Amino acid sequence: MKTAKKMLNTCRKLISKKRETAKVLLLLITSMILFACGSQPAQIIHQVPVSTLSQQCYVSQAETYIWLEQEDEWLDLPEQTRQQFEQTEVNWLEENILIVSQGLKPSAGYGIELTNWLLEQDHWQVTRIAQQPVADSMQAQMMTSPCLLVKIPKSIKSFTLNGEQGQALGRWPY
């Protein structure tokens, strides 16, 4: 009889432990489901794109901003301009191109820089900084046409180019 009681108590303890284990498992599974449902979708993290500079762009005589979405648009540019960036490989299915040109300049020492990149999920914003030769500095006296090419992923839905004072120089939604 004592053996039967011991076996009965042992069985009750096992059943009680199984219930506790089942409760803990149920609580863990419920927590995991709630956590998974409340989490944010995966987001792409973008890095500031690399710019390609050229001192002889030959795009136009005035300051110009050119947005290219297709290879046909690239082929419409002057051949001299395309030759300046012939080392740049573009995947037209995944990238758009922005060319920022300072126009025709009377000497060396001019340049362009893109700074203050704001890289949000669907919108990018950047500031264009125009560089000029230091006053009274010695510069080669030759016509230059400084420009910059940057590749922008097609996943970006809009892009804004701002001037140094914050004014919008160009906006490209797509």
pLDDT at position 51, please?
87
**127/116 Cα distance (integer angstroms):** 6
pLDDT single digits (tens) 131-170: 889 888 898 889 989 999 999 999 998 999 999 999 999 9
pLDDT single digits (tens) 95-141: 999 999 999 999 999 999 999 999 988 899 999 998 889 888 898 88
> In 3-state terms, what secondary structure has residue 154?
coil
Residue 5 has pLDDT above 80, yes or no: no
Q: Could you state, in order of their start, the residue ranges of all structural domains in the chain?
A: 1-38, 51-173
* Tokens (6 digits) for 108: 């060396």
pLDDT single digits (tens) 49-106: 888 888 888 888 899 999 999 999 999 999 989 998 988 999 999 999 999 999 999 9
Reduced DSSP (H G I as helix, E B as strand, rest coil) percent helix, strand, coil of the chain, to 5: 30, 30, 40
Residue 19 has pLDDT above 80, yes or no: no
What's the pTM value of the predicted model, to 2 decimals? 0.72
Confidence of residue 39 (pLDDT cuts 50, 70, 90): low
- DSSP tag of 87: T
Angstrom distances, CA of residue 141 to CA of 15, 67, 147: 94, 31, 18
User: Residue 119: which H helix or E strand, with range?
Assistant: strand 111-119
- Conformational region of residue 76, where left means phi above 0, alpha means psi within -120 to 50, and beta covers everything else: alpha
Confidence of residue 171 (pLDDT cuts 50, 70, 90): very high
* Tokens (6 digits) for 145: 């046409």
Residue 37 has pLDDT above 80, yes or no: no
Span 10-36, mean pLDDT? 58
- DSSP tag of 35: H
Residue 24 has pLDDT above 80, yes or no: no
> In 3-state terms, what secondary structure has residue 64?
strand
**172/29 Cα distance (integer angstroms):** 47
